Amino acid sequence: MNKSDRYFLTNLDLILEYGSEDVNPRPKYEDGTPAHTIYITQVFEKYDLTDNEFPITTLRPIPIKNGIKEVQWIYQDQSSDLSRLEGEYGIKWWRPWNIGDGTIGQRYGATVRKYDLMNNLLKGLLNDPFGRRHIISLWQEDDFNESEGLLPCAFQTIFSVRRKNGYMYLDMTLIQRSSDYLVAGHINKMQYVAFQMMIAKHCGYEVGTFAHFVQNLHIYDRHIEQAGEILWRDASKKNPILQLNVPDGTNFYDISAKHFELIDYEPVEPQLKFELGV
């Protein structure tokens, strides 16, 4: 059982045994029923990528490559256009959040483009690597006032560079206000690890540690049966890793999901189905 699986089982236990139930939730299921959650707060995980500690759970299959494609849509294309996400990458899970104009509003990639967040980050990491202001924040109140749309869940990344034994390491922290743990929790973790790896390659740095903080970690009331199934599963004995097969110095915008390779990834089947709260 790897570190990610241990975190997964521990957090599920905590949610089911000690979690709080929400009141008057915003999301609804497709049939119009309020989508209630059980949640815990202030959850932190940390992984040492140099020691092949990746947040890859083996307790259920995770579409990691699709998660990386979503990162491309947000940070390379810098788009919120759903036709591009579906047509170029084949990802359809954002459909329920279409605001009616074929986009998810002035959110995510549109915010990255508006404030030139990605290019500013890359310049800062190269020109002032030991600075303490390497931050991308998708939480922009002006954008929320500009259009409708889901407020960003994974909304901030913070980067630090450190030198050790002659090598430069890039550490990253992902901050989420909210995480639908069973549906998207591990997609978010791994797509942002891939994001960290892409940036490290661009800068010629090694990947260091990945940390993840979630303020509200929850499962929906219609996912309790699936949570119980996961708790009974036996995790793989292998330790899966993600490898990025491009040379150091490869431009961030030239790296795609096809350059990543999953090694020793043998998740437990079958896949589980989840009803979305939207």
3-class DSSP assignment, residue 1: coil
* Catalytic member of 1, 16, 135, 153: 153
pTM of the model: 0.97
206 closest CA partner among 59, 52, 18: 52
Alpha-carbon distance of 244 to 254, in angstroms, equals 12
Crossing angle of helices 186-203 and 64-71, in 10° steps, is 60
Of 116, 278, 94, nearest to 187 (Cα)? 94
DSSP-assigned letters across all residues of 5-32 = HHHHHHHHHHHHHHPEEPSS-S-B-TTS
Can you give the pLDDT at residue 249? 97
Cis check: omega of the bond before 129, within 30 degrees of 0: no
Tokens of 180: 């639908």
- Model pLDDT, residue 150: 96
Q: Where are the alpha helices (DSSP H) in the chain?
A: 3-18, 64-71, 82-89, 109-114, 117-127, 141-146, 186-203, 224-232
Domains detected in the chain: 3-20+35-59+117-263 (3.30.572.10)
CA distance 183 to 160: 29
| pLDDT at res. 256 | 98
203 is catalytic: no
pLDDT of the residue at 162? 98
Angstrom distance (rounded) from CA 48 to CA 226: 29
Cα–Cα distance, 48 to 94 (Å, whole number): 31
Q: pLDDT tens, position by position, for the chain (278 residues)?
A: 999 999 999 999 999 999 999 999 999 999 999 999 999 999 999 999 999 999 999 999 999 999 999 999 999 999 999 999 999 999 999 999 999 999 999 999 999 999 999 999 999 999 999 999 999 999 999 999 999 999 999 999 999 999 999 999 999 999 999 999 999 999 999 999 999 999 999 999 999 999 999 999 999 999 999 999 999 999 999 999 999 999 999 999 999 999 999 999 999 999 999 998 99
**What is the distance, to the nearest Å, from the Cα of residue 173 to the centroid of all Cα atoms in its chain?**
11
> What integer pLDDT is reported at residue 232 of this predicted model?
96
Backbone dihedral angles phi then psi of residue 157, each to the nearest 5 degrees:
-125, 135
- Asked whether the beta carbons of 211 and 46 are under 8 A apart, the reply is yes
